Structure 1
Amino acid sequence: MVAEYALDVPGAVLDDALLDTPGPRARVDVLLSLVAEHGSRPFPDDPAQQLALAARALLARWDSPRARRSRRAQRLPAELAVALHVQALRIGPADHSGYGTAVSRDPETGRLAPQGSFFRGVRRSAPPPHTGEPLDRLAGGAALLEHSLLTLERHLRAPVSVDFEVRDDEISLLAASAQLRPPLRASVCLAADLARDGALGREEAVQRITPAQVQELLHPQLRLTGGEDLLVTGLPASPGAATGAVVLSSERALELAADGTRVVLVAAETTPADVPGMLASAAVLTGSGGIASHAAVVARGAGKPAVCGAEGLRVDLAAGTVRFGDRVVREGDPVSLDGRTGAVYAGTLSVSVAGPPPELSTLLEWADGVRRLGVRVNADTAAEVETALALGAEGVGLCRTEHQFLGERLPLIRRVLLAADPAARDEALVALERAQHEDFHALLAAVGNRPVTVRLLDAPLHEFLPAPGQALDAAEEQRAAALREANPMLGLRGVRLALLHERLYPAQAEALFTAWADVAATGVRPDLEVMIPLVSLPEELAAAAAYVRGAADAVAARTGVEVPYRLGTMIETPRAALLAGELAEHAEFFSFGTNDLTQLTYGFSRDDVERQVLASYQERGFLTASPFARLDPHGVGALVALAAERARSVRPGIKLGVCGEHGGDPESIAFCDDVGLDYVSCSAHRVPVARMAAAHSALRQRRYVDNEERRDESGSAR
């Protein structure tokens, strides 16, 4: 560089001469001869003149055509100046001198603890001949670096990377910079440390950690090396990673899990009957369905990693095998699954254990102080509620009562639906009411004095019917066949089923109100909301509301307790959104069921469309994301905004929330905040993500308002 830019040796001459000259010493002799032959003047012996030449060369290089092109490409000013930093170095005895690098934070814990290496007898410019020595081999070096790095972190407000030299056992810093792509735990710990020390505001500390980073910290990840054997890639339905033996049935999953074996449940699709096996598995893999399918929703609620819609997956139960295209895996073979990317690998891979640093809890508490939007949980059991409350949920935004009818209670709901004898049906209803009372009592006790929204039965009818050939007798098989539907998701479900089986909702409501009265006797008073699902007609809501009021009156007459509750509806159909004003005359709250609302607005089947149609649409650029993962602001979102406006025009104080899976997506949360909804509700393990996303949305809105005010002030001043 000095020869070309300060002594005018042509660059082409330098390139040709140095191309075949190995080693720095040989190159010195070649350069000196080239300067003598082609240079504008000889190379000086005086060190001060050499330094002046080096400075002149750097300045000339900054103004070279290549440098000017680089500035234009980066949109930097053409006249941008350059600063030269001159650093004096000296070389000490090899045994007591050397070069090293260090970073300020432990990558595993995020704590302030210098990590790095020291190369004894090596200059900075020389390639290290070995792996180096740990910093604790330097007498007092680790403590000195910790003090220096702490000071630099406060100055740069970022995890720090430094180069240093040791000369006669004395450490000198050569260069320091903000660490490029610092470990996530280090960023979290530093943000909290800086805010506690006053070097950073709490709001800025919250802003530094994204919702996606919160999710990454909460779930285990596969440790990939690049040599993994990929079996298939599906849709990333539930984050996290797990390894386990392949099982092909819920029963087998329960059997092996009881013996302590980690299993991965692989199925063409899952149904409510598979829930016990799913909960016993380490992960779930399905060949069909999308990120709003049954498998995805259950897995997210349970905090299990899941991959859905794995194209080419074929399960052969008779042979005990799974086919992934041309590959065959047998039941019992190990696989590893990444629910964040949708990748499934053969064999057992290493998994990093999830464990966020305590500083994340601190940042989330600060986020709670910033956000306006409430965050609740979709939870069906007391255990799920307890998990969610520990993660910061403010209550239950959706309790799906149909999940209480699974397992050993499935025969009871089948008798209600299929019994030919009214007495047998009533007997089954009494048994169901008693069983639901137990579940509601545990749920309400876990919720405490917080809000809890209980949705009455909403599952499609086919989920409770016996499979063909599995009925108790020919008569029951005939009645079940008569109830099977071509499109059960749009058939006899929700309020429609309740209006045809008129004792169903009253039985559920009486169980709920009796449980509330029993829990209230212990001093706990949950803020109860009762939700009617799949309403499209105001008359449907009015009729169902009468059932609920009748149940409340019956419980009051029997127990002497008048249960305080709000009655509302789930907005799941476009017609319900359009008639929100009329529905608000009967409802004290709305909860937008955005999974079904998206399905019905687009005319998409959420269980079938993602694997082929949505993937194609995203490749073509028609969609930037699946509308089942991210709320569509122009279509579905427009219906939500319209419904909110019309409902508030009739009932200004109506409570509005979202309980679909969009309630855990950061961009969807920002939309809900902008529309002015009161809360979002999501699966338990997405609650921290939603808390951070709601805080980021509030800070974004605040910045927008501040900018508008400054713009107005500037306009007034002119």
Structure 2
Amino acid sequence: MQQIYFFNEGRRDMRSLLGGKGANLAEMTHLGLPVPQGFTISTVACHEYEKNQNQLPTALQAEIVQSLERLEAITDKKFNSVQTPLLVSVRSGAAISMPGMMDTILNLGLNDQTVIGLAEQTHNERFAWDCYRRLLQMFGNVVYGMPEQNFESVLADFKRRNGYRTDLDLTAADLKAIVGRFQELYLESEHGAFPQAPEKQLSLAVAAVFTSWQNSRAKVYRQLHHIDGNIGTAVNVQAMVFGNSGADSGTGVAFTRDPVTGEKKVFGEFLQNAQGEDVVSGVRTPQGLSAMEAMSPQAYQQFLTAVAKLEQHYHDMQDVEFTLEHGKLYFLQTRSGKRTAKAAVKIAVDQVNEGLIERNAALLRVDPEQISNLLHPEFAAATLAAQTPLTKGLPASPGAASGKIYFTAASAKAAHEAGEKVILVRQDTSPEDIAGMVVSEAIVTSRGGMTSHAAVVARGMGKCGVVGCAHLVVDQEKQQVTINGTVFPEGSELSVDGASGQIYQGLLEATQATQDENLQTILSWAQAVGQMDVYANADTPSDFAQALDFGANGIGLTRTEHMFFKADRLLKMRRLIIAGTVSDRVEPLAELEELQTEDFYQLYSLAQGKTVTIRLLDPPLNEFLPHDAKELAQVAGALNMSVSALEKRVAVLHEANPMLGHRGSRLAVTYPDIYEMQVTAIINAALRLKQAGVPVKPHIMLPLIDTLPELQWVKARLVAKINDLLAHAQTSLHYQIGIMVEMPRACMVADELATEADFFSFGTNDLTQLTFGYSRDDIGSFLPTYLEQGILKEDPFKTLDVEGVGKLMKMAVDKGRYQRRSLPIGVCGELGGDPASIQYFAEIGIDYVSVSPFRVPSAILACAQAAIKRDYQASKVAVQPS
């Protein structure tokens, strides 16, 4: 089976086989762009490598040798030749872009002899030895795991002793000495001398890139972006072109549109006399593309024409890596560029208006999880006007963040786990920092440009980011940063404005972001396409008002227990719970009814006829009671009872496992007056609005229903109470009583429950807990290990477990609709806002999802995407021959 493809043998639709980088190198080759020749070792080979216990299979090694010979013939250069040395880059490339998460090696093929030949061939001794020191550094780190800092310390020491400012100041003699010291580092390590045979270098490098698919940073990135860990990576072996070959050479990264704002203009950075890693790693702060134009106007115009062609061809903003070697332009990569949420929606809308893509394509182009980033807080102009910035860098990724500064991924992660808000401050970031970047509110670096690793990853994660702060000096050893002469130790509080690039001392208050016009356009298109409604989980008028502003169709879940936790209300609730008899509960129930009536009146007033679904009391009563001695004494005093009497009542209500105990509709059976109080409040609030001419749609939801007799018993009591209220008011009112489906048994008898329930609403949090037997409060002790070991592909509380929980849901939908064809069915757990879960909900016929207010926009978009994908799949089935 063929495992290696030359660039002229592939196309862009072969991503799963060639990876994104390999497929796009092939596509650019077919487009006639100047691409250095090479070949791609496919993802199939990666799978075989893993099956072969991380050893290159013999057949693959033979195919690599044959491909290398073919590349030698094409380039008229040879591996291990002193006269015409062939040097190659070895780069990873998964089907889904994972910038900087896996490994790359450049200048492979150099050794103690070929470096001399390269110097003679190019008449540039400094260039040749610069390439060799780069190879030794990258190879040692990537293949042998030698710490990057060991090599960087040698470079830094040389520059410090000689008074050099940058790597460009190093002379040929310096570089020879550095190469010698690097080789000593190899000998001092457990790996021994640097391998002189280029063939061995290549086989070790290919194996290292395959192995990097399973490194910790790649796993963290895949988990963060929901990338399947089984797709594997390809390896691209490509003839080197040299941006570090002199003053007429250079390297750069460019975007066909601004990745921060979405503005339609080519945006990029360029480094003269450098290799690509110098730009993306952030070790040097690059110049703008104007530097390239000044150096080589002809190549610059060729570049502009080519990148415009790429955007037209791919119908998307492209992220392009390129090199100039003695003024000749080469393209090394193109891919869909990472962009901020603001840029994503602007580019999508603009490209529709330009006629480049259709509306459905635009809706699929924006990641729903990005949408929430547009709603993140920002610093108010008045707040900033009263502050003096400490320094300013490049605004790599917008947002406003405040927190305590930390200088390593490990310390940032530890601080986050301790409950702190973290600002990660680094000289420059590397892929090793991914775990710290994930938990940080903002990322700040002293070096690097807008296309550096820190900038790209911050944008991809939606993190606030500022890079290239020239007046910011990080001291890793002392764990401190000096900003314009002022020292800030670890734990100091700073605020970062990603929109302006400015950094401030202390914690600044942020305000909610203003609505984005392009986002409103995207959401209007999405609402026209989506086939599921999006409701809000809202317990207060302010939450509901926010959700309505974001486009919610109503409320899918009001958790009435959340209305009782304010201090004055909590005392009334505790008085109710402490009451020993029905007559003792009358007074506290009346007080709570008055409060609940006003609560529901406010929600119905805002709804203006939209559906409002109110779930009756769900948690066990002991959750409202005090437990420590100090609070017990305070509550006993407030309730005018002895501490011992209160302790006895708390002991009576104690539950070994509250999740499975006396809660939900079980409370309605043992304390029916509590649920009767709540429906009284609901109906009276609705009647007040009806009298004022405001339409109301009360939906009453019963939690934790297990059996049909249980549902019948509770519903009968509530209907009787409602009928009494309506008779007394001498009016009628349309209302519905439905159930929250959150018990596996309820899914199995959904056809029976549908005879009494007016609607179903899946509580996916409890349904997942009870299906797996996991407690959400305790999974932290084992879930990370399960995810790391691949026992679970996803956290089932973040993305639906389709194989288990999903099957139960489908069973309930099918059974419920068999009994009652038009039965409304929704989802109101956390999974209702997860795009991958929404896709499945659409497939099984869910009518609506209900999510927290700030997830409403992303859910609207995800519902539209699910509808588009369903229609596409249906059209494919329709055209298949019978």
Could you say whether these structures have the same fold, taking a TM-score greater than 0.5 normalized by the shorter chain as the test? yes
C-alpha distance in structure 2 between counterparts of 1:617 and 1:99, whole Å: 42
Q: Deviations over 1:346-383 (max 9, x none)?
A: x9899999778532332222222222122111111111
Deviation digits for residues 177-210 of structure 1, max 9, x if unmatched? 8566342343432221111222211111111122
Shift of 1:431: 0.3
| Partner SS for 1:466 | coil
Q: Is residue 2:547 matched to residue 1:388?
A: yes
Q: Which of 682, 689, 714 is the aligned partner of 1:519?
A: 689
Gaps in structure 2 of 5+ consecutive residues: 1-36, 38-70, 86-112, 129-201, 211-230, 232-247, 377-398, 424-439, 442-462, 464-489, 497-504, 637-641
Distance 1:401 1:351, change over 3 A: closer
Deviation at 1:153, TM superposition (A): 4.3
1:313-462 to 2 correspondence within 5 Å?
A: 357-407=516-566, 408-420=568-580, 422-462=582-622
Residue in structure 1 matching 2:648, options 453, 475, 478? 478
Larger Rg: 1
Distance across 1 between alignment mates of 2:316 and 2:351: 9
Q: 1:11 to 1:4 in 2, by over 3 A?
A: farther
Task: Kindly report which structure 2 residues correspond to 1:21-100, keeping only aligned pairs within 5 A, or say none.
Answer: 22=119, 26=123
State the match for 1:688 in structure 2.
Answer: 857
C-alpha contact 2:798 2:830 (8 A) present in aligned 1: yes
- Which residue is 1:698 aligned to? 867
Match of residue 112 from structure 1: 264
Q: Quote how far apart the aligned CAs of 1:644 are.
A: 1.3
Q: Quick check: 1:4–1:10 contact (8 Å CA) kept in 2? A: no
2:81 counterpart residue number: 12
How far residue 147 of structure 1 moved from its aligned partner, in angstroms, is 11
* Structure 1 unaligned spans of 5+: 32-65, 75-93, 166-171, 245-281, 284-304, 306-331, 339-346
Distance 1:568 1:11 in 2: 76
Judged with a 3 Å threshold, the aligned counterparts in structure 2 of structure 1 residues 561 and 99 are, in CA distance, closer, same or farther, namely same
Find the counterpart in structure 1 of residue 339 from structure 2: 183
2:227 is the alignment partner of 1:158: no
1:663 alignment partner in structure 2 = 832
TM-score (normalised: structure 2): 0.54
Match of 1:531 in 2: 701
Alpha carbons 2:317, 2:337 under 8 Å: kept: no
8 Å contact from structure 2 (residues 415, 421) kept in 1: no
Which of 582, 589, 592 is residue 759 of structure 2 equivalent to?
589
Q: Number of matched residues?
A: 552
Answer whether contact 1:468 1:477 (CA < 8 A) is retained.
no
Query: What residue is the counterpart of 1:204 in the other structure?
Result: 361
DSSP 3-state at the match of 2:863: helix
In structure 2, what is the Cα distance between the partners aligned to 1:100 and 1:494? 61
- Map Cα deviations across residues 315-343 of structure 1 (whole Å, 9 max, x no partner): xxxxxxxxxxxxxxxxx9668999xxxxx
Aligned 8 A contact 2:743 2:766 in 1: yes
What residue in structure 1 maps to residue 160 of structure 2? none
Cα distance in 2 for partners of 1:503, 1:17 equals 89
Task: State the Cα distance separating 1:115 from its structure 2 match.
Answer: 3.5
Task: Give the 3-state SS of the residue equivalent to 1:624 in structure 2.
Answer: coil
Rate the CA distance shift 1:162–1:698 in 2: closer, same or farther, 3 A: closer
Q: Establish whether residue 503 from structure 1 lines up as the match of residue 659 from structure 2.
A: no
Contact 1:222 1:241 in 2 (8 A): no
- 2:402–2:421 Cα contact (<8 Å) kept: no
**Within 1, Cα distance between the matches of 2:121 and 2:536?**
66
Deviation at 1:653, TM superposition (A): 1.3
Does 1:492 pair with 2:648? Answer: no
Residues 1:643 and 2:812 are matched in the alignment? yes
TM-superposed CA distance for 1:579, in Å, is 1.5
Offset from partner CA, 1:95-115 (integer Å, 9 cap, x none): xxx999864433332222444
SS in structure 1 of the partner of residue 806 of structure 2:
helix
What is the Cα deviation at residue 547 of structure 1? 2.6
**In structure 1, which of residues 521, 543, 548 is the aligned counterpart of residue 718 of structure 2?**
548
Aligned equivalents of 1:411 and 1:616: distance in 2?
42
- Deviation of 1:457 after TM superposition, in Å, equals 0.5
Q: In the superposition, relative to structure 1, how do residues 514 and 151 fare at CA in structure 2: closer, same or farther (>3 Å)?
A: farther
Please say if residues 569 and 587 of structure 1, whose CA atoms lie closer than 8 Å, have aligned partners that are also in contact. Answer: yes
Q: Are residue 227 (structure 1) and residue 397 (structure 2) matched?
A: no
CA contact 1:552–1:563 (8 Å) conserved in 2: no
SS of equivalent residue, structure 2 residue 655? coil
Shift of 1:614: 2.4
Q: Distance in 2 between matches of 1:429 and 1:576?
A: 30
CA distance, structure 2, for counterparts of residue 228 and residue 349 of structure 1: 21
Three-state SS of the structure 2 residue aligned to 1:634 is helix
In 2: Cα distance, 1:234 partner to 1:444 partner: 44
The 3-state SS of whatever aligns with 1:442 is helix
Larger deviation, residues 351-360 vs 189-198: 351-360
- Most deviating of 172-181 and 373-382: 172-181
Change (3 A) 1:334 1:657: farther
Residue in 2 aligned with 1:192? 349
Q: Is the partner of 2:347 in helix, strand or coil?
A: helix
Q: Distance in 2 between matches of 1:614 and 1:102?
A: 40
**SS in structure 2 at match of 1:503:** helix
Using the TM superposition, give the Cα deviation of residue 436 of structure 1 relative to its aligned residue in structure 2, in angstroms: 0.5
Q: Is the 8 A contact 1:118 1:133 kept in 2?
A: yes
Alpha-carbon shift at residue 9 of structure 1 (Å): 9.1
Match for residue 735 of structure 2? 565
Change (3 A) 1:348 1:186: same
Task: Tell me: CA distance 1:449–1:235, structure 2 relative to 1, closer, same or farther (3 Å).
Answer: farther
From the superposition, tell whether residues 3 and 461 of structure 1 become closer, same or farther in structure 2 (CA, over 3 Å). Answer: closer
CA shift in 2, pair 1:611/1:9, >3 Å? closer
Offset, 1:523: 3.2
Alpha-carbon shift at residue 159 of structure 1 (Å): 2.4
CA contact (8 A) 1:159 1:187 kept: no
The answer to whether the Cα contact below 8 Å between 2:537 and 2:850 also exists between their aligned partners in 1 is yes
How far apart are residue 503 of structure 1 and its match? Answer: 1.0
Mark the CA change 1:26 to 1:427 in structure 2 (over 3 Å): closer, same or farther: same
Distance 1:613 1:100 in 2: 44
Letter in 1 for 2:407: G
CA contact (8 A) 2:765 2:797 kept: yes
> CA 1:26–1:198 in 2, change beyond 3 Å: closer, same or farther?
closer
Aligned-partner residue type, residue 116 of structure 2? L
% identical aligned pairs? 34
Closer/same/farther in 2, CA of residues 561 and 136 from structure 1, 3 Å limit:
farther
Shift of 1:584: 1.1
Contact 1:113 / 1:146 at 8 angstroms: preserved in 2?
no
CA distance in 2, matches of 1:630, 1:467: 34
Between 1 and 2, higher relative CO (CA 8 Å, sep ≥ 6) is seen in: 1
SS across alignment from 2:837: helix
Residue pair 2:255, 2:337 contacting (<8 A) in 1 also: no
**Amino acid paired to 2:536:** V
Answering whether residue 465 of structure 2 is matched by residue 465 of structure 1, we say no
Over 3 Å counting, the alpha-carbon distance change for 1:173 and 1:112 in structure 2 is farther
Aligned to 1:90: none
CA contact (8 A) 2:536 2:556 kept: yes
- Residues in 2 aligned to 1:6 and 1:623: alpha-carbon distance in whole angstroms: 47
Q: SS of the residue aligned with 1:392?
A: coil
Bigger shift: residues 682-691 or 519-528? 519-528
The TM-score, its normalising length taken from structure 1, stands at 0.66
Query: Match of 2:518, as an amino acid?
Result: E
Q: Does 1:213 align with 2:370?
A: yes
